[in-house]
Amino acid sequence: MTDAPLDPLIALRPWEAPEVTSWGRLPMHAVDRRPGAVPLDGDWRFQLLPAPDAPPGDVWSSSYVPGVWTVQGTDDLPRYLNVRMPFPEFPPRVPGTDPTGVYERCVDVPAEWAGRRIVLQVGAAESVLLVHVDGRPAGISKDSHLAAEFDLTELVRPGERACLRLTVVKWSDASHIEDQDQWWHGGITRSVLLYAVDPLHLADVTVRARHDGDLRVDCRVRDAGGALPEGWYVSGDLDGHLLTQDAEFDRVNAEDERISRFLGEARLRAAVPDVRTWNAETPELYGLTVRLHRADGTVADISRHRVGFRDVEISGRDLLVNGERVFIRGVNRHDFHPLTGRTVTHDDMRADLVLLKRFGFNAVRTAHYPNDPALYDLADELGLYVVDEADIESHDHAHEIADDPRYLNAFVDRVSRMVLRDKNHPSVIVWSLGNESDYGANHDAAAGWVRRHDPTRPVQYEGAAKLGWADPDVASDIACPMYAPLEECLAHAMSGTQTKPLIQCEYSHAMGNSNGTLADHWEAIESTPGLQGGFIWEFWDHGILQRVNDGRPAGRGGAGLYDNGVAAPGHRWAYGGDFGETDHDGAFIADGVVFPDRTPKPVMYEHREIAAPLRIACFRHEGVVLANHQHFRGLDWLSGEWELSLADGTTLTAPAELPDLRPGETVAVPLPFALPDEGGEAWLTLRVTTAGDEPWAPRGTVVCLPQVRLRAALPVRHTPVPVPGPVEVEVEVEVDEDGLLVHPLLTAAPVLSLWRAPTDNDELGGMAARWRDWGLDAPRRALVSVRRAPGRVAVVSDYRCAGGTVRHEQVLTAVEGGLHVQECAELPEALHDVARVGTVFETVAGLSLMEWFGQGPWESYPDRASSAPVGHHRLPVDELFTPYLRPQESGGRHGVRRFTLSAPDATGLAVRLDRARQVSVTRHRAADLAAVAHHDELVPRAGCVVHIDAAHRGLGTASCGPDTFASYLVPAGVHRWSWTLRVL
């Protein structure tokens, strides 16, 4: 191959010319050209150059396309920064050292393509793409997350071989508006293909299908030879039913001299009777085929679409789908894979959306760029609302760029191309102008284009809305703030000034052990007109699988080296700073509701219950009230089973006959069981599953587990009854010289615990630093007194730290079969917000199974516990711990009444609590977790580390967003708790 210069207008450093968004690139359209195309995915010859103007060398390797070179063995490794650019140059400048990938591949152009128009489609390239064919320039494209097409008809010969060179420049003026919260990569990230069409071809098809059955299909036609031939026409059918030509449209166009003879337009119409409408609950789709005919009736071109009949509108402060106010239960989603970086397959995306559907999500925001085209097809099919977001984020230089006329073309180009590509998808209900780019004239220009081209959908942009949630003059039809405190949202909704729907584009940050108060938010949203939902940040933990021995990405060969959220030995999930970079934002990239391998985090179960379609509203008059919380669907797709759990260990089950309830209706049903007089605390759970196969779930998949308490627990006596009669030696309480309990099953005596391994929220929210300043991570215990009596020891200790002294009293009393422990801790006023107040002890080795009565089976915490039903649960101890990417407090179970830890031979210990408490059992001390950055550095202890908390601080989302509510804080003052330890 030989090099030839680009067009002289852009030959001079086009990667630093923001006014130039493309050259030689064809207009975007919504016609799928994949059928019949020649795929060019696979291994390409590859070189990585230090700069775009550096000459290629003689040594070539290979690189797989689609894929990023940053995980394919090059020395240019992934890098993570959230806000800051990875270089100091101001827009539009870039550094002189600019990794540039050169891809080459030869392709045999089919001989049967003679006389046809031949087009190269590059699915996406990060960030600037330069195309050559046999050494001749074909074009240039910017915008890393949309396809670029180039007409190669004059550059190739059918029946002969053509050599393609794709040059991808990593840093460019475009990088300044792709400053998104994700890994920086470089490469060709989506599929490459070559296709051919007739010179007379469909340039674009626009489908508008309304929920009343009205269908309009607008077709734009071009001819590669220039002027359109006489006599061409279009036809179409919807599931075999012919569409009609819009004669009035044809007449107006024929009379309008402004219509160019080089661009033809035609409109097809249909009125579908008894139309089956599309929505996220019942995503009904029709098959549309559009044909372009030559004058002799032969078909020149075909375009196929799946059509969903639905309307989207804003009425007052409500976003309506088909006239119904719908709650937006959304998540933000990047295109991500732990092995391939930015490249995802159709199966990957289907697995993403299936998982979201199974856990109650009904919406996706494509943060912060248009996602792979297959995602929208899948959202149409499976039923998810999509906020489609343009590839614009200028976080580090937002204020300068928002009004910079040099970037005006880029803003309008990126927004308009997204709309042109995705406009026919019923799943897309809102267009977003981008993310975190301030607000300026460039946004208004892009919004104006969208509103003129597609008035059927609202436009949103957080940067505009933050200037005033009710301001009618900004470029956002929706108030879509980020992490707005709930009290501010409620105040706005009740102020009388609200003019737009309030749907937060980001509202709960899933970094580490997080998403506290999610249920509180949704209780407020569902009960407050004007609040309509939001999008959790985000779907993925962006951990890249890394080989520990050399610190490099595992690459495509890493498949199978992870399971259940954990990387295999010798590997780990890498985050910012793990690839040798010194300037990075650490684990802030690990903030998803799933682990990098798509294993659900515990918050997914919380969301599933919050979004439950069927709920138990209340218990009354010997029955329960069921409520259908869907918008469009009845309950016929669900089946149920009742489960009654009693504190004495009894569990009863019975099939549930679900009532015929329309959306929003409630009905009282009788209890399925006669409640036994004995048995103590009683809880009724309705296990709701899919009655048949759904596109996103096989028959029997759990949908939700609504629960109601039928009978409260009996009060627990705080003062135990000692062993009757003379106290024998074998039941004497033994403490050492420091007043610490000596027990055959404990390797570390129960002591006061005020500290937890800081969560990401604790660290970034500033609480962990405060706790360390107070010395709560290592308080100095000083024995004050030991008072002994037969079968009883009272120990008083002071735990001294910089924040003050905590007086702790522990009364140990021998009881039948074990030991009763009463505890009291008094925190001085200075310690007004601590992580926990409770007891920690360690057991002997060999105890491998935990069984408990309380909330479960998954992890739960005081402000994230609505999804964990009370019942009888059992799990191996090693499965109780949650492996958040940065080790931290995890594995807790809220509302535990009693538990046992046992060995395979059923020996072990049993603990009964005075009331429902927060309990955790893991193989790690808090200090172990706090001392390491990755799980491969942890060494599990042979025994169990057990925490019993009188009070445990909520999680909140303070790593990016509001902290937990005041009701979930651990205050100063007196805390009392008691528990009984027995040997199994």
**727, exposed or middle or buried, with CB in 10 Å at 0-12, 13-18, 19+?**
middle
Catalytic residue among 16, 506, 681, 859: 506
Q: What's the rounded Cα separation, in Å, for the pair 208 and 792?
A: 80
Radius of gyration of the chain measured on its C-alpha atoms: 32
Q: What's the rounded Cα separation, in Å, for the pair 406 and 875?
A: 60
Q: What's the rounded Cα separation, in Å, for the pair 628 and 632?
A: 10
Q: What's the rounded Cα separation, in Å, for the pair 827 and 774?
A: 12
436 is known as an active-site residue: yes
| Cβ-proximal residues to 677 (8 Å cutoff; 6+ apart), any chain | none
Nearest to 714 by CA among 684, 683, 685, 682: 682
| Helix/strand/coil for 794 | strand
Q: What's the rounded Cα separation, in Å, for the pair 230 and 233?
A: 9
**Residue 599, CA distances (Å) to 288, 355, 592 in order:** 37, 9, 11
Cβ atoms within 10 Å of 527's Cβ, excluding its own:
9
Nearest to 782 by CA among 802, 798, 793, 803: 798
Q: What's the rounded Cα separation, in Å, for the pair 942 and 847?
A: 9
**Residue 403, both tokens:** 């009004």
Helix (H) or strand (E) holding 347: helix 346-358
400 is known as an active-site residue: no
Quote the strand ranges of 95-223, DSSP E.
100-108, 117-126, 128-133, 136-142, 148-151, 161-169, 182-184, 187-197, 200-209, 214-223
Q: What's the DSSP call for residue 419? A: H
φ and ψ of 356, to 5 deg: -60, -45
Paired strand residues for 913: 979
Helix (H) or strand (E) holding 605: helix 602-610
Q: What's the rounded Cα separation, in Å, for the pair 565 and 598?
A: 7
753-774: b (≥16 Cβ within 10 Å) or e: bbbbbbbbbbbbbebbebbbeb
User: Is cis: bond before 78, omega within 30 of 0?
Assistant: no
Q: What's the rounded Cα separation, in Å, for the pair 809 and 822?
A: 8
φ and ψ of 975, to 5 deg: -120, 130
Dihedral angle at the C-alpha atoms of 359, 360, 361, 362, nearest 10 degrees?
140
CA angle (536, 538, 543) in 5-degree steps? 160
Q: What's the rounded Cα separation, in Å, for the pair 823 and 831?
A: 18
| Cβ-proximal residues to 407 (8 Å cutoff; 6+ apart), any chain | 18, 91, 92, 177, 394, 401, 442
Q: What's the rounded Cα separation, in Å, for the pair 531 and 522?
A: 9
**Residue 267, CA distances (Å) to 219, 237, 305, 741, 848 in order:** 6, 13, 16, 85, 69
Catalytic residue among 265, 436, 462, 606: 436
Nearest to 123 by CA among 180, 44, 66: 66
| Helix/strand/coil for 608 | helix
Helix (H) or strand (E) holding 638: strand 638-646
**Residue 173, both tokens:** 């003026």
Cβ atoms within 10 Å of 718's Cβ, excluding its own:
12
Catalytic sites, residue numbers:
436, 506
